Amino acid sequence: MWRQALRRVVRGVLDLFYPPLCLLCGADLDHHESLVCSACLARLPLIGPSSCPRCSRPLHSPNGHAHLCGPCRLTARPVLDRVVACGEFRAGLRQLIHLFKYRRCQCLAPLLGNLLAQRCLTTQAYCDLDWLAPIPLHWMRQRWRGFNQARELARYVSLASGIPLLPRSALRRVRRTTPQVRLTAAGRAANVAGAFALSSPHLVRGTRVALVDDVLTTGATSSECARVLLRAGASAVRLFVLAR
Ligand SMILES: [Zn+2]
Ligand SMILES: [Zn+2]
């Protein structure tokens, strides 16, 4: 109890000399704001109702919300039955994800995790779901970063939805891979082939699983993870991501 009180006093004194600033625009934060100011939050490029119902790709036609996007219309049986994305990987959302992932700002986990949880709630993406499975990092990369950003996001989605996290040891990255960001689309698929293993297939047999990740680019990593789960008998795999 006294520790919490002491922490509040120290925080109050520090705020007096070093007022907290918005991570995106550098403006002073009001007492009700945390990490990012309200104006910057309102400017995040979040995906609106006019988006593909299967993959969340923004559609730019006024009546677009009822239709699948072009690439989805050409894919009869996708590996991921649905992709739910919060926003587009640009502007402030891109900056926040970079701070979270590459500058190791773990303090952004509640803000970003709750953003994703809220998006999943409004798009009714939790229906019939049994597990949340964060895309695993290789242990060496996780040691470097100090945390797995996908697991941090999934923790907040789990708290908001009540859907349990697949145990950490169940789905593992068994091979170290080159960071996908440095590769072409074809190179990405080859890079992650055989990179994941499921140690407890009985856990996912007959269940619906949502993979959780920070960014979707070509989908090579999430598709490879989904294939491992489907081979073990998962009945459906979807993907929740912050940005695409
Ligand atoms: Zn700001
Ligand atoms: Zn689509």
Question: Per-residue pLDDT for 86 more than 80?
Answer: yes
Using the mean position of ligand 1's atoms as its centre, give its distance from the Cα of residue 196 in Å.
39
Ligand closest in space to the Cα of 71: 2
Ligand closest in space to the Cα of 22: 1
Q: Give per-residue pLDDT as tens, 220-244.
A: 999 999 999 999 999 999 999 999 9
- 46 closest CA partner among 103, 106, 112: 112
Same domain, 139 and 201: yes
- 211 closest CA partner among 116, 128, 131: 131
Q: What share of the chain is helix, strand, coil (3-state, %, to 5)?
A: 40, 15, 40
Using the mean position of ligand 1's atoms as its centre, give its distance from the Cα of residue 83 in Å.
29
Same domain, 200 and 225: yes
Which pLDDT score is estimated for 204?
Answer: 95
Using the mean position of ligand 2's atoms as its centre, give its distance from the Cα of residue 147 in Å.
31
Same domain, 140 and 220: yes
Using the mean position of ligand 2's atoms as its centre, give its distance from the Cα of residue 211 in Å.
17
Residue 211 is given by DSSP the state E
Same domain, 17 and 70: no
* Structural tokens at position 85: 């994305």
Using the mean position of ligand 1's atoms as its centre, give its distance from the Cα of residue 41 in Å.
7
Total number of domains in the chain: 2
Instruction: For residue 194, name the pLDDT band (cuts at 50, 70, 90).
Output: confident
Ligand closest in space to the Cα of 59: 2
Which pLDDT score is estimated for 140?
Answer: 86
Question: Per-residue pLDDT for 65 more than 60?
Answer: no
Question: Per-residue pLDDT for 173 more than 70?
Answer: yes
Instruction: For residue 125, name the pLDDT band (cuts at 50, 70, 90).
Output: confident
Same domain, 70 and 92: yes
Ligand closest in space to the Cα of 39: 1
Give the mean pLDDT of 160-179. 90
Using the mean position of ligand 1's atoms as its centre, give its distance from the Cα of residue 9 in Å.
26
Same domain, 38 and 61: no
- Between 11 and 142, residue with greater pLDDT: 142
- Which residue segment(s) compose the domain that 15 sits in? 1-43
Q: Give per-residue pLDDT as tens, 4-46.
A: 777 777 766 666 666 689 999 999 999 889 999 999 999 999 9
Cα-flanking dihedrals φ and ψ of residue 53, to 5°?
-70, -15
Residue pair 96/36 in contact by the 8 Å Cβ criterion: yes
Using the mean position of ligand 2's atoms as its centre, give its distance from the Cα of residue 76 in Å.
11
How long a stretch of residues is the chain?
244
181 vs 217: CA distance, rounded Å: 9
Cα-flanking dihedrals φ and ψ of residue 171, to 5°?
-110, 120
pTM of the model: 0.88
12 vs 19: CA distance, rounded Å: 9
Same domain, 115 and 232: yes
Ligand closest in space to the Cα of 21: 1
Domain at 135, CATH number: 3.40.50.2020
Q: Cα 137 to chain center, whole Å?
A: 13
